[in-house]
Structure 1
Amino acid sequence: MFNKHELLVHYRYSGIGVIVWSYEFVFYILDILAIPELFQTIIDFIHWKNRPLNHEEKNIIKSVFNDSINLNTISLDLYKHYFSDVAMAFVGFNTIFFNRKITGELLIHEASHCWQYQRFGSVYIIRALLAQNSNPGYNYGGVHSLENIVMSRQIKRINYEQQAEIITDYYSLSNTKFADPGEIKIYKNYLNLLKIPQIIINK
């Protein structure tokens, strides 16, 4: 598990630390009261067309997350009648909502948020929303910036959307025929820091 400092918002939001902590505290209380589980039950009841992951989707997610994520709790909800003019996908606890055909990359990105929920609780919601509205947003700076982060082990510099993008880029790179093995190694080392076990890397 992360040390106590890693349980804070990974990206430092200058000047609003107390406000962020206050929001996070509310979500921790909700987790203690099992409110997210109640909402998940309501989602499953209202959206009765939710379906579990199929074999192919499980294999895609497992190729990255191995056994660090509970695939049996994740469901998919196609809401094609809403926002049909734009492609959209988002996560509500363990449910992935989408309105178009879901690609492997999109599935991995959204599964990353499911992993965050399973790992940290519903606080992932506020952290992801803050990440979306931060200056870096989804941009983590590419493989060279990631290499510096891995070498310094400063993973708290990465916000939750950057984290999901890194994991998605690792999946894409791993499925590229002529990918640079050195770059794949950097991504694998990052995932190992997140306690998502990958092949042991010899330094």
Structure 2
Amino acid sequence: MVKCAAFGVAIVFAVAFAVLAAGFASPVWVARKINNDYSVGLISLCINDDCGRYDTLSDMQDATNDYVVAAAFLIGIAVIAVGFCVLISLVAIFSPRAIVACYPLATLAIILTVIGLLLVPAGLKDNAAILFTCVSPGDTYELPDTCEATTGLILTAVGLGLLLIAEMVLGCLDKKHIREDGMYA
């Protein structure tokens, strides 16, 4: 008899992480349309500080497309996260003997997460935007900064994913198979 709802826990954590990521990444993604020369809302309306010259249709479409691309990316990440967590849950439920070394996995996850969280703000300095391709969007932004932010996000996501896996494994394995040192017997 399985003593924890691994399936439900996986979905809850995956959705929560996706929502958290959406709240952080969406405004940052479109930040490359927001600088000293632009006044940008949901759609670019005008350029120059006094808004004396209206933005072109192309620029408005670019600003709007950033939101669309960000949303599509985050939806894709959420779908992958849910599918991956469900797969791990099924493995933990039906084949617990195949999963070992839970504590080292959790330790690695924490280290990666901390490093990632430190790199993200470092990469966002000087108004740099997060670009998952590490391509500089223009002269205003610095390529190394965008890559730092991207690397930080990747490490954070990997770290949180590993931590989730380790937590699920420790919670779902039958207690009688866990030794006092935390390893699977």
Structure holding more helix per residue: 2
Higher relative contact order (CA 8 A, sep 6+): 2
TM-score, normalising length: structure 1: 0.24
TM-score, normalising length: structure 2: 0.25
- Larger gyration radius, structure 1 or structure 2: 2
